Chains A and B, each alone.
Chain A
Amino acid sequence: MSRYIPDTEEDRARMLDAIGLSSTEELFSDIPEELRFKGSLELPESMAELELASHMKTLAGRNANAEAYPCFLGAGAYDHFIPSIVGHIISKPEFYTAYTPYQPEISQGMLQAIFEYQTMICRLTGMDVSNASMYDGATALVEAALMAVRSTGRSRVLAATGIHPEYRDTLRSYSRFNGIKITEVEAVSETVDKGRLESILSESPDDIAAIIIQSPNFYGYIEDMKSVAELAAKYGALSIACVDPISLALLKPPGECGVDIVTGEGQSLGNPLSFGGPYLGFLAAKKELVRKMPGRIVGQTTDHEGRRGFTLTLQAREQHIRREKAVSNICSNEALNALAAAAYLSVMGKEGLKEAANLCLQKSHYACDRLLETGKFVKISDAPFFKEFTVKSLNEPVSAINERLLKHGIIGGLELGRFDAGRFDAGSLDSGRSDHGRFDLGGADLGGSDPRRFDTGRFDAGKLNPGGRDPGKKDCWLVAVTEKRTKQEIDRFVAIAAGGDR
Chain B
Amino acid sequence: MKTYQGTRFTKEHEWARLEGGEVYIGISDYAQHAMGDIVFVELPKAGKKIKAGEQVSVVESVKTASDVYSPVSGTVVRINDVLNDSPELLNAEPYENWIAVIAADDPAETDKLMNDQQYADFCAKEG
Contact = CB atoms under 8 A, between A and B. Distances in A.
B22 to A, nearest CB: 23
A191 to B, nearest CB: 34
A291 B87 CA distance: 14
A291 B65 CA distance: 11
B42 A291 contact: yes
A234 interface: no
Interface in B12-44: 40, 42
B67 interface: yes
B64 interface: yes
Nearest to A153: B45
B60 interface: yes
Nearest to A292: B42
Interface in A283-324: 291, 316-317, 321-322
Contact of B40 (A153, A291, A322): A291
Interface in A325-358: 325
Contacts of A317: 65
Contact of B64 (A153, A291, A321): A321
B15 to A, nearest CB: 22
Interface in B45-69: 45, 60-65, 67
Contacts of B42: 291
B16 to A, nearest CB: 23
A316 B41 CA distance: 12
Most buried by B among A153, A291, A316, A317: A316
If over half of A's interface residues share one DSSP class (helix, strand or loop), that class is named, otherwise mixed; here it is helix
Given A291-B40, A291-B42, A316 B67 contact: no
Interface in A256-304: 291
A297 to B, nearest CB: 14
Nearest to B40: A291
A232 to B, nearest CB: 18
A325 B67 contact: yes
Contacts of A316: 60-65
A139 to B, nearest CB: 23
B31 to A, nearest CB: 15
B53 to A, nearest CB: 16
Contacts of A291: 40, 42, 60
B37 to A, nearest CB: 11
B98 to A, nearest CB: 21
Contacts of A153: 45
Contacts of A322: 64-65
Most buried by A among B40, B63, B65, B67: B65
Contacts of B63: 316, 321
B49 to A, nearest CB: 12
Interface in A409-447: none
A137 to B, nearest CB: 29
Contacts of A325: 65, 67
B68 to A, nearest CB: 12
Nearest to B39: A316
B116 to A, nearest CB: 30
A341 B25 CA distance: 48
Nearest to A291: B40
B55 to A, nearest CB: 9
A317 B65 CA distance: 7
A27 B127 CA distance: 50
A322 B63 CA distance: 10
A263 to B, nearest CB: 23
A235 to B, nearest CB: 16
A316 B42 CA distance: 13
Contacts of A321: 63-65
Nearest to B60: A316
Contacts of B67: 325
A324 to B, nearest CB: 11
B81 to A, nearest CB: 14
Nearest to A290: B40
A321 B39 CA distance: 15
A317 B61 CA distance: 11
Nearest to B55: A325
A321 B42 CA distance: 17
A322 B67 CA distance: 10
A291 B42 CA distance: 9
Nearest to B65: A316
A153 B48 CA distance: 11
A407 B29 CA distance: 76
Contacts of B62: 316
A282 B75 CA distance: 39
B43 to A, nearest CB: 12
A294 B63 CA distance: 17
A153 B65 CA distance: 19
A316 B67 CA distance: 12
A322 B62 CA distance: 12
A67 B79 CA distance: 61
A153 B61 CA distance: 23
A321 B58 CA distance: 13
A317 B64 CA distance: 8
Q: Which 7 residue pairs are nearest across A and B when measured between Cβ atoms?
A: A316-B65, A316-B60, A322-B65, A321-B64, A316-B64, A291-B40, A321-B65
Given A316-B60, A321-B64, A325-B67, 15 more contacts: A153-B45, A291-B40, A291-B42, A291-B60, A316-B61, A316-B62, A316-B63, A316-B64, A316-B65, A317-B65, A321-B63, A321-B65, A322-B64, A322-B65, A325-B65
12 contacts: A291-B40, A291-B60, A316-B61, A316-B63, A316-B64, A316-B65, A317-B65, A321-B64, A321-B65, A322-B64, A322-B65, A325-B65
Interface of B: 40, 42, 45, 60-65, 67
